[in-house]
Structures are given as structure tokens and as C-alpha cells.
Amino acid sequence: MYVILGASGNTGSVVANRLLEHGKRVRVVGRDVKKLAAFAERGAEAVAADVTDSEALTRAFAGAEGVYALTPPNVSSDDYRAHQDHVTEAVARAIEATGVKYIVTLSSVGADKSERTGPVLGLHFMESRLADIPEINVLHLRAGYFMENTLPQAGIIREFGMMAGPVRPDLPLPMIASKDIGSAAAEALLHFNFYGQGSRELLGQRDLSYAEMAGIIGKAIGKPALAYIQLPAEQIIMAMTQMGMSKNFASLLCEMSESLNNGHMKALETRSESNTTPTSFESFVQEVFLPAQRGKAAGV
Ligand SMILES: NC(=O)c1ccc[n+]([C@@H]2O[C@H](COP(=O)([O-])OP(=O)(O)OC[C@H]3O[C@@H](n4cnc5c(N)ncnc54)[C@H](OP(=O)(O)O)[C@@H]3O)[C@@H](O)[C@H]2O)c1
């Protein structure tokens, strides 16, 4: 039996589907079982549990051999770091209470650092907390920068005719499609080929800067001169709070961007076959960005 947290989300849905394809017993977890109906139709057990509730997670983890764990973002939280620690503690207690032996987590590049990494700091503390649990096998997937982070750019392009954000235009980022993280997590859970405490970086198909991504998106949407500009943190925080994020979360994102910009937060591994994943940014734009952009434009 495998338990998948965040099963209706970007990465968890891929993990759950892949395990079901392999005929595995899967328990999918989310706040609302209705959102998990497609998995239930394919034979999964759907369970409603809040990831901050250790007793509910303990019930959800009962009898599991393997768990896919993540900290679902709560971008409207006024204390995002406290939210992350709350989730980590609930997950850790459920692991301790049930004795589940194999855990794959969604962590991040930069989780090695103990300060100034914004939301990634919560993943640093998640890794440390799980390290305190004896006799478990944990693989922390330290993912690069999600390609999905570019989706809000569709609205910015529509309104201002350009892309904008807090990251330097020329900074190469390990851009990864979230579905490739789900695939890597599923592979690890299918083979249980990790022992003790470990981490593995996932760096996407290649490094790309925002300037390069603007070129690729611009070509795909028929605006080949599309530019990206870096904006100061105050302006970004104002825009993000207007989009519904808390000031606290928006400030943490700016802290993270600053640490990317100045090199404090970066991949530790050199690129290799094992940390490179298949989906190119060009494919992501065709398969995810453009449909999302058209949906938004049509008011879907
Ligand atoms: N963005 C990046 O560049 C980046 C890079 C590295 C790592 N990360 C990490 O990636 C993680 C997010 O992964 P993801 O994109 O796969 O997540 P996601 O798509 O946001 O999905 C999270 C899922 O969790 C469920 N959920 C939300 N709150 C919940 C709660 N309180 N209790 C139970 N379930 C809840 C939601 O489903 P329901 O609505 O059905 O409950 C949602 O579908 C974060 O930890 C982030 O730090 C992100």
C-alpha cells in the first residue's frame, strides 16, 4: 500500500497515476474526496485528511509501505513558515506512529541552507525533522525551479505586454516540469532503492534564464520580441498581494529570489544524466502554458 499526499496536485497526481498503472494499491489523500474521484474510479482508496492533522495522517498512513510526502503551499497564510513546520510535525508523527519504512519527499534545491531561502527554509527543517526518525528510508527530491512558476506570467503579458518578476533576467535556473518530479518519485517508490537518509537533486531538462524563457514563450505566442524585466521586491510584493497571496508569503518569495540572484541558493550537483529530467521548456509551453493562457483569456 502506498499513500500519496497532495494527490490532486501537480506532482502527487503523477505519482498516484503511475503507481496505479503498475497495479499497486494506492491511498490518495486530499482535503476533499470529490477531487480524488478519478483515482477512486481507477481503484485507489480516497481519504480526506488535513496535512496539519497528525491523527488524521496517522489513520491515512496505517498499513502503508511507502509514502509520498509534501508540504502543500498555503499562500494566503500570514505565517507561512509556521504552516510548513505544522505540516512537517504532523507528517513526522504519523510516520513515527505507523512505522512506515519508505518515504519520498518533495524538497527543493537550496534545502541544504539554514537561512535566507524563503519558503525553502521550511523544506530544510522538514529534512532535519525526518532525520531524527530512526530506521526509516527517506529520499528527499530536491527539485529545481518549477516551470509552472511561469504560469502567472500569462496575465502579466496580457496586461503589460511583457514578463516581470524578482529574479535576474540573465540568471540560469534549473527549470523543471512538475510532472517529471512526480515520475521520479513514482520510480523511487516502485523500486524502494534508497536506504537511510538521502537526497537527490532534480534539475530539469536544462538551465534557462528568464530572458531565454521570454524568448521561448514570445515565439510560441507570436510576440517574438517579448521581454522580461526584473522588478524591485516592494513592487513584486504589492502585485502578489493583489493576486491573493499574504504579504508574509510574498516577502518569503522575494527573499528566495534574492538568494537565487546572489548565488546563496543554488544546485549542489553538476548536471548529469541522473539529475536531468526529460521535459523541455518548449514542450511545457505547448502542453501547459498555452492551454492555461487560452483558458484564462476565455475566462475559464
Ligand atoms: N514552485 C517551485 O519552484 C518549487 C520548487 C521546489 C519545491 N517546491 C515545493 O513543491 C511543493 C508543492 O508541490 P505541488 O506543486 O505538487 O503541490 P500542489 O500542486 O500545490 O498540490 C498540493 C495539493 O495538496 C492538497 N492540499 C492543500 N492543502 C492541504 C491540506 N491542508 N491538507 C491536505 N491536503 C492539502 C491540495 O489538494 P486538495 O485541494 O484536494 O486538498 C493540492 O492539490 C511545495 O512544498 C513547494 O515548496 C516548489
pLDDT one-digit tens code per residue, 140-185: 999 999 999 999 999 999 999 999 999 999 999 999 999 999 999 9
- Point out the residues of the chain with pLDDT beneath 70: 297-300
Dmax (CA) of the chain: 56
Question: In this structure, what are the phi and psi dihedrals at residue 272, rounded to the nearest 5 degrees?
Answer: -145, 175
Q: Provide CB contacts within 8 A for 155, sequence distance 6+.
A: 296
**71 Cα nearest atom in ligand 1:** 45
Q: Identify which of 50, 51, 288 to mutate to test ligand 1's pocket (most ligand atoms within 8 A of the CB).
A: 51
For atom 18 of ligand 1, the residue with the nearest CA is 9
- pLDDT of res. 274: 96
Percent of the chain exceeding pLDDT 70 equals 99
- pLDDT of res. 29: 98
For atom 24 of ligand 1, the residue with the nearest CA is 6
Ligand 1 center–CA 179 separation, angstroms? 13
DSSP string, 64-100: -SEEEE-----TT-SSHHHHHHHHHHHHHHHHHHHT-
pTM, 2 dp: 0.97
Tell me 35's DSSP state: G
For ligand 1, residues with CB inside 6 Å are 6, 8-12, 30-32, 35, 50-52, 70-73, 106, 108, 119, 123, 143, 145-146, 149, 178
**119 Cα nearest atom in ligand 1:** 47
From the CB of residue 43, how many other CB atoms can be counted at a distance below 10 Å? 11
**32 Cα nearest atom in ligand 1:** 40
- pLDDT of res. 295: 85
H helix runs in 221-289, sequence order? 233-242, 247-261, 281-284
Q: How far apart are CA 9 and CA 47, in angstroms?
A: 15
SS3 content of the chain, % helix, strand, coil (to 5): 45, 15, 35
- pLDDT of res. 299: 66
Q: How far apart are CA 238 and CA 201, in angstroms?
A: 32
